[in-house]
Amino acid sequence: MGNTKKSLQFKTIPVDEAVGSTLAHDMTEVIPGESKGPAFKKGHKVTSGDICRLMRLGKNNLYVLDLEDDQVHEDDAVNALAAALAGPGVIFSGSPSEGKLELKAAYPGLFKVDIEALTEFNMIQDVMCAAIHNNTSVKTNHSLAATRAIPLVIHKDALEKAVALAQNNYPIFSVKMYNPLKIRLIITGNEVYKGLIEDKFQAIVQKKTEDLGATLEETVILPDDEEMISRQINTYLKKETDLIITTGGMSVDPDDVTRAGIESSGFKQTIYSSAVLPGAMFLLGYHKNASIMGLPACGLYHRTTIFDLILPRLMAGERPTRRDLARLSHGGLCLNCETCRFPACSFGKVG
Amino acid sequence: MENFETLLQGSSKAHGHLCPGQVVGVRMAMEGCRLIELDNPSELPQIKKLIVYVEIDRCATDAICFVTGVRLGRRSLKFVDNGIMAATFVNLETGKAFRIVSTERARGLAEMYAPEISDKRQQQLQAYKKMGIAELFDIEEVKVDVPACDMPGPTRFKQICSSCGQVVRDKKEVMRNGKIQCRPCALGTYYRTVAEISHNKGTHHG
């Protein structure tokens, strides 16, 4: 970020004398409520027909640049910055617009940010980069970040410092590709097992997992019976299963035995409860190459829960720890908005 | 740019035969270049201003390459495997771009334009020469944001696959399970090595 003023040797010429000269930077035009974009691109040769429009943009004088050896134009600078910041799965346009480059996802996956390194990058004078949150699930071409040099011309040493910092911390930004996990589901609940009510969980789990490229291989409905649940988990583990999901039975009622069923199966490493609402009574566990998620019944009612925060991370090959779940506390409260805008909201965004 | 007949002759020679696809490809390329205001795209300085995205690997693609001079090896030709007879012509300097799609209705109109020819292929070939642009193509003005890693010019991006050590250029590496990998290691290959096949056979019989 910039915090000092430096005098740069620009030649300024009045706009009515500018015919034939080449613009040194993009000129932005804002039409209130309609559009904002470059009216003239850097390198454009000013014609007599442009003078009126330039004046309408409020330009009475134009910059003509004569760069010194230790100076870099904003477009060249932003290309170098973006190249250093963009790790695997992160691409950017070959044409900066108004001195800025937007970084985008090259494929669907989990967006990762080295937050500390990004902060240090922004401590460097005359450069900036703003990003979306760490651990956001993104699709191809999803906007991830944008970077620019603050002044029209940046000193080479500042640019080199920023590029070196990004390179030394490579990758500051990356997109972890999702693995096509094979998922098996256990729906628990006496009421569903006996057919008193119809299961709604399978459709929810199927949609959310398939959206990220997983496949729901099998679903079994079981009563609230610890032994049956445990046995079913073991049956699933003998098959090719990356992730087992159980639904229901995670609370504190006497009939809530799913957690006990999980813990008496092969899953010894389990984390019960998370600092997220909805999703406090969530269970996460690991056994050899397989993971398990115990989803509390809130997933039936709330559109977005802890499931939406942890599933992408498991799909990306991560194994969140107890501390990771605790860290979700800051930003872990869903506001239950009338129209859900997740992931474009504060839910699950660790600050 | 040379005239249509000269370009068609050259394109057919380069492709190996004269076919309806050559006529469609030459006309598509000529129209694409006209729309993005490049009249001599296969030579300097215009050669550096053009990128063409083709959406099929069939006859017309060769004709487009012949007329425009775009080449895979020069990174001016991009192949998007959509199975659609379409191409997008991008002027990198002005940002102007048009996507041109060869229409199915043109096939139906071939008989009307060349009723004297009974051979289907010859009929199409002659008809596509006479047909109006609006009948032959659907054209839309588009914006293509060409990523820096897809631009022509020297290699700017290089990474090493953490699994096999292969150098991967142009940001085509991926991050899989926290590791930087080449696509073959991360996503599998389109081939099997003979050694692997022999080994599996041995295992099977053993």
The closest of A114, A181, A175 to A141, measured between CA atoms, is A175
pLDDT at position A66? 67
Chain A residue numbers with beta carbons less than 8 Å from the beta carbon of B177 are 176, 179, 316-317
pLDDT at position A251? 87
Comparing CB atoms, the residue among A79, A89, A95 nearest residue B174 is A89
The residue type at A128: M
pLDDT at position B121? 95
Q: Are the beta carbons of B148 and A83 separated by less than 8 Å?
A: yes
Question: In whole angstroms, what is the distance from residue B76 CA to residue A94 CA?
Answer: 14
CATH code for the part of the protein at B4-147: 3.30.1330.130
Domain with CATH 3.90.1170.30 in chain A: 71-177
Interface test with B, best of A26, A85, A91 (most B CBs within 10 A): A91
Q: pLDDT of B78-87, one tens digit each?
A: 999 999 999 9
Is the distance from CB of A155 to CB of A161 less than 8 angstroms? no
Question: B146 — contact with chain A (CB < 8 Å)?
Answer: yes
Distance of CA B132 to the CA centre of its chain: 23
pLDDT at position B113? 96
Residues 32-91 (B) with a CB less than 8 A from some CB of A: none
CB crowding A240-271: b at 16 or more within 10 Å, else e? ebbbbbbbbbbeeeeebbbbebbbbbbbeebb
Minimal CA separation from A171 to chain B, in Å: 10
Report the half-sphere exposure of A316 (CA within 13 A, side-chain side).
27
Comparing CB atoms, the residue among B145, B150, B175 nearest residue A174 is B175
Chain A residue numbers with beta carbons less than 8 Å from the beta carbon of B186 are 177
CB pairs under 8 A between A and B: 59
> Cα separations (Å) of A29 from A57, A92, A101, A231, A304?
7, 23, 18, 66, 39
Q: Are the beta carbons of B148 and A93 separated by less than 8 Å?
A: yes
Task: Give me the residue spans of the domains in chain B.
Answer: 4-147, 158-205
Domain with CATH 3.90.105.10 in chain A: 10-65
Minimal CA separation from A16 to chain B, in Å: 25
Chain A residue numbers with beta carbons less than 8 Å from the beta carbon of B157 are 83
Q: Which fold has domain A182-327?
A: Molybdenum Cofactor Biosythetic Enzyme; Chain A (3.40.980)
pLDDT at position A4? 43
Q: Which two tokens stand for residue A135?
A: 């651990």
Interface test with B, best of A22, A138, A144, A176 (most B CBs within 10 A): A176
* SS3 readout for chain B: CCCHHHHHHHHHHHHCCCCHHHHHHHHHHHHHHHHCCCCCCCCCCHHHCEEEEECCCCHHHHHHHHHHCCCHHHCCEEECCCCCCEEEEEECCCCCEEEEEECCHHHHHHHHHCCCCCCHHHHHHHHHHHCCHHHHEEEEEECCCCEHHHCCCCCCCEEECCCCCCEEECCCCEEECCEEECHHHHHCCCCCCHHHHHHHHHHHHC
CATH code for the part of the protein at A10-65: 3.90.105.10
Is the distance from CB of A346 to CB of A331 less than 8 angstroms? yes
Domain with CATH 3.40.980.10 in chain A: 182-327
Interface test with B, best of A22, A76, A95 (most B CBs within 10 A): A95
Residues B36-41 have a mean pLDDT of 94
Please report, to the nearest 10 degrees, the dihedral formed by the alpha carbons of residues B133, B137, B141, B146 taken in order: -120
Confidence class for position B160, pLDDT limits 50, 70, 90? very high
Minimal CA separation from A24 to chain B, in Å: 16
Residues B186-193 have a mean pLDDT of 96
Question: B157 — contact with chain A (CB < 8 Å)?
Answer: yes
The ipTM, to two decimals, is 0.86
Which stretches in chain A have pLDDT values below 50?
2-7
pLDDT at position A6? 45
Which CATH number among 3.10.450.50, 3.40.50.460, 3.40.50.300, 3.90.1170.30 corresponds to the domain A71-177?
Answer: 3.90.1170.30
Identify the sign of the CA torsion B56, B59, B64, B65.
positive
Q: pLDDT of A165-223, one tens digit each?
A: 999 999 999 999 999 999 999 999 999 999 999 999 999 999 999 999 999 999 999 99
Question: In whole angstroms, what is the distance from residue B88 CA to residue B103 CA?
Answer: 15
Q: pLDDT of A144-164, one tens digit each?
A: 999 999 988 899 999 999 999
The closest of B60, B64, B66 to B10, measured between CA atoms, is B66
- Mean pLDDT estimate for chain B: 95
Compute the residue count for chain A.
351
Query: Is the pLDDT reported for residue B161 higher than 60?
Result: yes
pTM tops 0.95, yes or no: no
Shortest CA distance from B152: residue in chain A:
A94
Q: Are the beta carbons of A92 and B147 separated by less than 8 Å?
A: yes
Is the link from the previous residue into A278 a cis peptide, with omega within 30 of 0?
A: yes
